[in-house]
Structure 1
């Protein structure tokens, strides 16, 4: 009974505390009557506060009492208001433009602007300010809005207004999301965020993409936004080398909260350097950053958008200053679509002396639980620090109601009726799908034209498949794919059935298998695409790929053992036999060239490369990414790009006598690789190093050899592992090998300085590969080139020891 009374009393006190909360709200405008967007509203000398919305409207909930509320915005004079709060009140605020004067500054005609000396002092203190806060926690609210400001009537034959749910002017909100989180940080770069609530317009079961760490951009770092909006980073106005890239102008000084604030304009020395433009505000004597109002443009080298404005406001916390309001605004145009939007973050309730549990920083940078997106409208009314604008309110209501309607079977059936309509052109070009979204069942047919190809073993052939997928909650799914292949010259029909079950997204766990027979490339890493080989064979009488037939049964499973550590096991049983050419058909007969045989080591005679044999093998591999960071959501575990290498260890055993197997070998390999190692203004480097050995090679047939990713075609899809001038088959080994690949992308460091080329945003790169094995002891290649997004052109040389083998152009496409 006592416990019951205590519980009732506690609930009553809780309700009383909630009842005593009052709201201070209003609109913040300038002296001309225009709203001041994203102004800060904070309780003076605390980090409890909020931000105005894009229309200048604000609302802050407080307990009964006396407060001094500070209203701030970059470029405006801070206003403080005393409030005796005993009821909900409206307090509209007028912010006057800040008057920055040069009364205490004397600038002589030829003298250096005083801003330079201020910046030098700020640079001198940069590292101290960067490292002075060892750890902190805070509450974070983030709102993201992306709008379409204009669009073509149709895109790829589809009505844009209808597809994207836009108004008659083809404008509207594409993405609207809010989230509340608890954010933890520990120097040098440990972060952990736990999302408390999330809301996405029109997606009732979705989670916000918002991350607090994405918005915290620290101008005390030398380089910012590396590998995000550009392959290179952007130089901070107070970086160690900033004076080489910036000019500075002291606009004026003002007093705020008893501190003298210097407003300094940052001006690029060269138009196309990766630098910011705008204003940075520095506190006198301590030389800390007080505000930033800077932007990037296309001239700075950003991709995908035209402009990005970064606005930060800092508030004093103990003896330092922490960001409390961060705003990213962007605009751009792509393929006739005009985009604009913003992300605003409110950082409040800082604790600069937190006591973290031992497992707080374990690689998980963001945790999202099932309850995060289940908060109702009443929750958001009470916990949304930035008021919604009228169009955002309408967007939520409209899209949420549509989302509920879309979940109904009647709506989904009507939608699928149009999407599932059969058209022969669709089947030929893009493939045909028969979807049942209500039951989460999907059936897709391959595009017919992409399934047709030619090679000299099968002649004209077709490889056609159908995929069925059943989805469940939280991204669990299974798929089944039957596939048939028929060659019209060799009159051989093969087929297979493949299945996969993805059963635990949190452990990245799946198992599957396949059985049947098929025709495969002798190089298990592949040689040339079917389309590329078709063109080379029919037009130039060059048949590079070589094939063999295999009947098989394969089983595999993969699962994460620990964060960043993925394990895989597989078992394979097969019967393999050689094939020969069945046709020499071509469109053009090259007088100085003939098709070669299907044996890469006997081009002029169809001599079997190996006897028909059976094999049974098992493979185990471990892949570990050092320092792997990840996001945990109810629907899975999502890795982020690591700043450290990935290590792979593999062991494969070929069993003799098991199920009549004719092979007997043991193979082990180790690989270390890393993509996009940032080097500041010098771009980024990627590398892969691998070594392996057949510990036992008593019975190894050619398909079981260790093969390498070669290339002898001019046009090919890029891959760091691929040698650009190495033969596909000649140098496979059944002994030991060492290979290395390295590539450095300068990200426009040199071409950006060439006036006629800088607008193209080209990126220059250099690279090379090395291979050593008994079959090819000292092969190396070097290349250099330029790229832009998905297309790259290079020229290179290949050597066998000191002897040059070949040289030429290479064109690569795709990511």
Structure 2
């Protein structure tokens, strides 16, 4: 407020005298001004209310004491009498206004938990539920008056699974893996000639050429889902084995006693195990067969997903009603979560090992992928044996390396495989091995390799002028590569014409270590300048890809390599780069 003396209004321009002020206060406001004032007041009131009613995100994960995610657990806000259920990975999200709340987390088979939280910003809150050891699950089923005992049996299996998992403790075992694949696009067509039929047991050379097979012998050490390691004792690969599944025990854990079935090599989405409290809500169970063995009843129960989740499997499981343990199971994975497969099935055999623990002793994976008019079908069998249960591993035994393969593993002979092989070979697999071995013997004979060197090292005008000349020596395992003559003189280059010389050299050693050198020199005719570079790389550890390298050079470089072609030729886009680089790589 500005005060002024009467009669001196001119000294304070922009102020009102008392008469004008009195007139202003007693003047009736216009309707337009009143409307604008009301609108402004309502807007301020709305902003004031919104400031206090802004929702904050409360999110987190619900897990059990083994840190396994719990799907379909209830997360309820006590004050609001509402909440959400967790997703397949155990995560949840709530939208809450500022204030204090009590969050109640509950799930069948676990003790409920109540936690008070203060919400004034986005907040992460994780929960660990403890097992409810006093809950009598069978009584729940009886009260529900369920005629089919399938769900009751699954519940008893779930209540016993912690004992089953704990019985083995940390363990070691040997694993024999045999994986095969057939490309059906190259099968011979059926003959239409009368009196002639294709014999299924007589595979053609084309069919054998499109097969792939691998045999792996592994020593597996396992302490937990986060602590495990395998050592490949023997490796034998024939054909294109890149698409074969489960050549390593690290490619997936399909044990149904875990809450989640994880196979990151084929699906980023874990699948809910039917043998879990989350599975009770995610699946429908139905008894399809009952057998009696002595005093035991063996139940075969079908597993079908409900509409609650799509991260589920489908199949059947065989359970002993007195041991409450899995004897056998077979289930398929949903193909919409498998980018590379159109069908994928898992079959498992469980046995009582050393009268101590129920362990998976055999796994079989059957799968195929369609492409065009063809189909690649694969089958992998893994046999687990020689268990050492409740084994004590030294501190720090499980490091960063989860899979180790020594060079000797690739050099195992037929005597080793005849002793190691626990899964017999089929007639077709035997023919395939003989076929591939015969090709290997021919293509690795001295006469054949000498002929290849002679053809490669032959100097021709085509190689000398356009393709470049290679000199290879298979006995010393070294190779030289010289550029073609057309690349020596470069008339259109920055700063004028240049003469460019380069070479490549590589050397392999019996230990599978190698070295390689790349060198080039460029002389500018107009400016009499000399540029060039030398790169050196050495692989010192073939098992985990350990390499080191260095590079030194001086040459012209583009500032913006992805620019338009006309802009790349501008002087402002080119600079003379002097560099020194050192690199190191190591596989984990």
Please give the TM-score of this superposition, normalised by the length of structure 2.
0.59
Matched, 1:262 2:303: no
Matched, 1:403 2:430: no
Matched, 1:315 2:315: no
With over 3 angstroms needed to count, the CA separation of the structure-2 counterparts of 1:410 and 1:211, relative to structure 1, is same
Matched residue, 1:470: 507
Mapping 1:311-460, distance limit 5 Å = 311-317=347-353, 318-334=355-371, 338-357=375-394, 360-415=397-452, 436-443=473-480
Deviations 1:16-36 (A, max 9, x none): xxxxxxxxxxxxxxxxxxxxx
Matched residue, 1:146: 181
Decide whether the 8 Å contact of 1:431 with 1:444 is kept in 2: yes
Deviations 1:375-397 (A, max 9, x none): 43344334432222222222222
Matched, 1:219 2:256: yes
Decide whether the 8 Å contact of 1:181 with 1:194 is kept in 2: yes
Decide whether the 8 Å contact of 2:167 with 2:356 is kept in 1: no
In the alignment, the residues of structure 2 paired with residue 115 and residue 487 of structure 1 have an alpha-carbon distance, to the nearest angstrom, of 84
In the alignment, the residues of structure 1 paired with residue 486 and residue 330 of structure 2 have an alpha-carbon distance, to the nearest angstrom, of 53
With over 3 angstroms needed to count, the CA separation of the structure-2 counterparts of 1:515 and 1:365, relative to structure 1, is closer
Matched residue SS, 1:273:
coil
With over 3 angstroms needed to count, the CA separation of the structure-2 counterparts of 1:287 and 1:458, relative to structure 1, is farther
In the alignment, the residues of structure 1 paired with residue 366 and residue 441 of structure 2 have an alpha-carbon distance, to the nearest angstrom, of 31
Using CA pairs below 8 Å that are at least 6 residues apart, which structure has the higher relative contact order?
2
In the alignment, the residues of structure 2 paired with residue 245 and residue 282 of structure 1 have an alpha-carbon distance, to the nearest angstrom, of 19
**Displacement of 1:291:** 1.3
Decide whether the 8 Å contact of 2:285 with 2:301 is kept in 1: yes
**Displacement of 1:335:** 5.8
Decide whether the 8 Å contact of 1:521 with 1:545 is kept in 2: no
RMSD: 4.9
Q: In terms of Rg, which structure is larger?
A: 2
In the alignment, the residues of structure 2 paired with residue 374 and residue 502 of structure 1 have an alpha-carbon distance, to the nearest angstrom, of 20
Bigger mean CA offset, 310-319 vs 350-359: 350-359
Matched residue SS, 2:168:
coil
Please give the TM-score of this superposition, normalised by the length of structure 1.
0.44
Mapping 1:441-520, distance limit 5 Å = 441-443=478-480, 467-483=504-520, 494-505=531-542, 510-520=547-557
Mapping 1:611-622, distance limit 5 Å = none
Matched residue, 1:549: 576
Matched residue, 1:248: 285
Matched residue, 2:153: 118
Matched, 1:280 2:317: yes
Q: Pick from 133, 144, 157 the counterpart of residue 168 of structure 2.
A: 133
Matched residue, 1:302: 338
In the alignment, the residues of structure 2 paired with residue 545 and residue 115 of structure 1 have an alpha-carbon distance, to the nearest angstrom, of 77
Decide whether the 8 Å contact of 1:494 with 1:518 is kept in 2: yes
In the alignment, the residues of structure 1 paired with residue 147 and residue 495 of structure 2 have an alpha-carbon distance, to the nearest angstrom, of 77
Mapping 1:30-41, distance limit 5 Å = none
Decide whether the 8 Å contact of 1:215 with 1:345 is kept in 2: no
Matched residue, 1:82: none
**Displacement of 1:319:** 4.4
In the alignment, the residues of structure 2 paired with residue 141 and residue 240 of structure 1 have an alpha-carbon distance, to the nearest angstrom, of 33
Identify, as 1 or 2, the structure richer in helix. Answer: 2
In the alignment, the residues of structure 1 paired with residue 508 and residue 356 of structure 2 have an alpha-carbon distance, to the nearest angstrom, of 53
Mapping 1:523-672, distance limit 5 Å = 530=561, 532-533=562-563, 536-538=564-566, 546-552=573-579, 554=580, 556=582, 558=584, 638-639=587-588
Decide whether the 8 Å contact of 1:313 with 1:326 is kept in 2: yes
In the alignment, the residues of structure 1 paired with residue 157 and residue 277 of structure 2 have an alpha-carbon distance, to the nearest angstrom, of 10
**Displacement of 1:549:** 0.9
Matched residue SS, 2:433:
helix
Matched residue SS, 1:274:
coil
Decide whether the 8 Å contact of 2:183 with 2:375 is kept in 1: yes
**Displacement of 1:286:** 5.0
Matched residue SS, 1:150:
helix
Deviations 1:644-666 (A, max 9, x none): xxxxxxxxxxxxxxxxxxxxxxx
In the alignment, the residues of structure 1 paired with residue 383 and residue 331 of structure 2 have an alpha-carbon distance, to the nearest angstrom, of 19
**Displacement of 1:144:** 1.8
**Displacement of 1:348:** 2.0
Matched residue SS, 1:386:
coil
Matched residue, 1:189: 226
With over 3 angstroms needed to count, the CA separation of the structure-2 counterparts of 1:270 and 1:473, relative to structure 1, is farther
Deviations 1:200-226 (A, max 9, x none): 3489xxxx9833444652122233234
In the alignment, the residues of structure 1 paired with residue 249 and residue 153 of structure 2 have an alpha-carbon distance, to the nearest angstrom, of 31
In the alignment, the residues of structure 2 paired with residue 191 and residue 177 of structure 1 have an alpha-carbon distance, to the nearest angstrom, of 23
**Displacement of 1:264:** 1.7
Decide whether the 8 Å contact of 2:558 with 2:568 is kept in 1: no
In the alignment, the residues of structure 1 paired with residue 343 and residue 394 of structure 2 have an alpha-carbon distance, to the nearest angstrom, of 41
How many residues end up aligned between the 2 structures? 426
In the alignment, the residues of structure 2 paired with residue 167 and residue 422 of structure 1 have an alpha-carbon distance, to the nearest angstrom, of 39
Decide whether the 8 Å contact of 1:468 with 1:481 is kept in 2: yes
**Displacement of 1:484:** 6.0
With over 3 angstroms needed to count, the CA separation of the structure-2 counterparts of 1:466 and 1:219, relative to structure 1, is farther
In the alignment, the residues of structure 2 paired with residue 233 and residue 480 of structure 1 have an alpha-carbon distance, to the nearest angstrom, of 45
In the alignment, the residues of structure 2 paired with residue 360 and residue 394 of structure 1 have an alpha-carbon distance, to the nearest angstrom, of 42
**Displacement of 1:507:** 8.3
Decide whether the 8 Å contact of 2:187 with 2:206 is kept in 1: no
Matched, 1:176 2:213: yes
Decide whether the 8 Å contact of 2:208 with 2:435 is kept in 1: no
Decide whether the 8 Å contact of 1:236 with 1:275 is kept in 2: yes
With over 3 angstroms needed to count, the CA separation of the structure-2 counterparts of 1:411 and 1:249, relative to structure 1, is same
Matched residue SS, 2:341:
coil
With over 3 angstroms needed to count, the CA separation of the structure-2 counterparts of 1:141 and 1:200, relative to structure 1, is same
Decide whether the 8 Å contact of 1:202 with 1:403 is kept in 2: no
Decide whether the 8 Å contact of 2:251 with 2:263 is kept in 1: no
